């Protein structure tokens, strides 16, 4: 019969595993978002990887998604891309769902 310590360790392991999966999902979403935004802005193929990396890196500034949104939205506005704030937020939500599906299948 498992002891309380065994159960506690099990919960800690599950928590750590869930956080790792959440991190992977967010990174995947940010990569897909960067690729999508790069396409809207007409970024040259040779420069897409660097832009995607900058989007991924922007997520480490603050907890949550707002730092990513602010970065991508500013970039889209600077390039006069035809997208609204609502469309960008919806795209982020849709890509999060897609990323979660992809990561869970791996």
Structural domain count of the chain: 1
Closest CA to 55 of 88, 86, 11: 88
Domain that holds residue 63: 4-105
User: Cα(18)–Cα(12) distance, rounded to whole angstroms?
Assistant: 10
The CATH code of the domain that includes 93 is 1.10.790.20
- pLDDT score at 64: 86
The answer to which of 8-12, 37-41, 80-84, 102-106 has the lowest mean pLDDT is 8-12
Distance CA 23, CA 21 (A): 5
Q: Rounded mean pLDDT of the chain?
A: 91
């Amino acid at each position: 019969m498992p002891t309380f310590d065994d159960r506690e360790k099990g919960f800690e392991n599950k928590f750590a595993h869930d956080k790792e999966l959440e991190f992977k999902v967010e990174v995947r979403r940010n990569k897909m978002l960067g690729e999508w935004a790069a396409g809207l802005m007409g970024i040259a193929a040779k420069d897409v990887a660097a832009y995607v990396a900058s989007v991924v890196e922007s997520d480490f500034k603050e907890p949550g998604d707002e730092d990513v949104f602010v970065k991508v939205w500013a970039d889209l506005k600077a390039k006069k891309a035809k997208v609204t704030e609502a469309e960008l937020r919806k795209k982020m939500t849709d890509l999060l769902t897609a990323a979660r599906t992809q990561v869970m299948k791996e």
